[in-house]
């Protein structure tokens, strides 16, 4: 039996898995990262001087694309995996703020951002309702939310979700479009839309957009 000291020294499954994957993450998943970044950017409007937070920023692929496309924006990222943040720090401009933290407990003041984005991360969240409320908390009134993730309306995602639930401790759940809509409504967002689409012959995603109506 593990003692309390043994349990306290264990790393969270997400931190353990992505700490190991960080050096080769973007090489291994390059086409997937490129597709999800592209689809997220296509649904995001950002004006000069606006403040944006990337929740689960990982190695900084989306933040890097945003820094190139919107050099006047104030960009921040948060991720629980130190190794992923280290990769992001090396690639991003020094003015991009990076912090360690979890989606359910964002280390930022309320009403601080004009936009919150999240890419490839929502199926790892253990408390989705709490995470969406936290994202809404840090958004200024009228602020925009954009989340891209797998979509369980597609058969390939259903199979992958079932497999990962059985064999991957980091994975939590993939959501259907209707489930995503319900979660956003329950978290108090307005002007909600959820697009679902394929990025290959088999793999399906969805991107949700919403506003923090204040």
DSSP string, 66-118: HHHH-TTSEEEEEES-HHHHHHHHHHS-TTSEEEE-BTTB-SS-TT-EEEEEE
pLDDT (0 to 100) of residue 10: 66
Torsion of CA 140, 144, 103, 166, to 10 degrees: 160
Average pLDDT of the segment spanning 12-38: 92
> Using CA atoms, how far apart are residues 111 and 194, in angstroms rounded to an integer?
24
> Using CA atoms, how far apart are residues 34 and 192, in angstroms rounded to an integer?
25
pLDDT (0 to 100) of residue 1: 37
Average pLDDT of the segment spanning 90-113: 97
Whether residue 163 has pLDDT greater than 60: yes
pLDDT band, residue 2 (cuts 50/70/90)? very low
- Asked whether 132 and 183 are in contact (CB, 8 A), the reply is yes
- Asked whether 36 and 148 are in contact (CB, 8 A), the reply is yes
Domain ranges of the chain: 4-212
Q: Where are the beta strands (DSSP E) in the chain?
A: 51-55, 74-79, 97-100, 113-119, 139-150, 190-198, 204-212
Domain 4-212, CATH: 3.40.50.150
Whether residue 132 has pLDDT greater than 60: yes
pLDDT (0 to 100) of residue 29: 85
Full-model pTM: 0.93
């Amino acid at each position: 039996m593990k003692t309390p000291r043994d349990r306290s020294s264990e790393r969270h499954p997400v931190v353990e898995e992505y700490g190991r994957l960080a050096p080769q993450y973007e090489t291994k998943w390059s086409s997937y990262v490129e597709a999800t970044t592209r689809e997220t950017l296509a649904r995001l409007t950002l004006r000069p001087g606006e403040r944006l937070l990337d929740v689960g920023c990982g190695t900084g692929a989306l933040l890097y694309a945003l820094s190139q496309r919107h050099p006047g924006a104030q960009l921040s990222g948060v991720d629980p995996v130190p190794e992923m943040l280290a990769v992001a720090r090396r690639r991003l401009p020094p003015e991009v703020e990076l912090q360690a933290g979890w989606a359910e407990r964002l280390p930022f003041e309320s009403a601080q951002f004009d936009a919150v984005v999240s890419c490839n991360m929502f199926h790892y969240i253990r408390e989705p309702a709490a995470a969406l409320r936290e994202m809404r908390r840090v958004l200024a009134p009228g602020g925009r939310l954009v989340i891209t993730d797998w979509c369980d309306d597609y058969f390939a995602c259903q199979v992958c979700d079932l497999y990962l639930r059985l064999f991957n401790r980091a994975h939590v759940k993939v959501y259907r479009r209707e489930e995503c809509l319900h979660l956003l409504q329950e978290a108090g967002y307005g002007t909600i839309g959820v697009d679902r689409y394929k990025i290959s012959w088999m793999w399906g995603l969805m991107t949700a957009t919403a506003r923090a109506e204040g």
